[in-house]
């Protein structure tokens, strides 16, 4: 299966596939078959009755998107220190987002706005805006 990435995702993955990752973390060992495995990203989740669910955001243009971060520090800087996350490779993030109708994954978004918390009666709450 061929995996397509937008240029930002490809650059973010290429940046962490080098010999030394951000914040001094060593890179993961090479795959025995000679191809390095996908590096695990930090993906924000929220608690739900069956464990955790992928958090979905909105891009600046209003599109629904999942987000992932190359380091825990980047996640914390954008979403706050209390944000719960799991480590997943990009294909796993895409697989979790696809059933939700979310095709976009934003890697290392930098900006965020406060989430919409309340809605008038009869109007469903909106998704929080996308960082970056």
The model carries a pTM of 0.60
Domain boundaries, the chain: 40-107
Residue 110 pLDDT = 83
User: For residue range 93-125, what is the model confidence (pLDDT) as tens digits?
Assistant: 999 999 999 999 999 998 766 665 565 666 666
Share of the chain above pLDDT 70, in %: 57
What is each CA distance from 81 to 24, 62, 67, 75, 110, in whole angstroms?
A: 20, 25, 16, 8, 15
């Amino acid at each position: 299966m061929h995996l397509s990435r937008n240029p930002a995702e490809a650059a973010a993955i290429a940046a962490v596939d080098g010999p030394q990752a951000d914040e001094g973390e060593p890179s993961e060992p090479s795959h025995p078959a000679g191809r390095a495995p996908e590096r695990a990203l930090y993906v924000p989740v929220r608690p739900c009755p069956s464990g955790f669910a992928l958090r979905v955001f909105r891009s600046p243009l209003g599109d629904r998107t999942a987000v992932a971060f190359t380091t825990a520090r980047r996640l914390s800087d954008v979403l706050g220190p209390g944000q719960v996350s799991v480590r997943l490779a990009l294909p796993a993030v895409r697989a979790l987002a696809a059933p939700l109708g979310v095709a976009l994954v934003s890697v290392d978004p930098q900006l965020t706005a406060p989430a919409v918390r309340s809605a008038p009666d009869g109007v469903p709450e909106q998704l929080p805006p996308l960082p970056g």
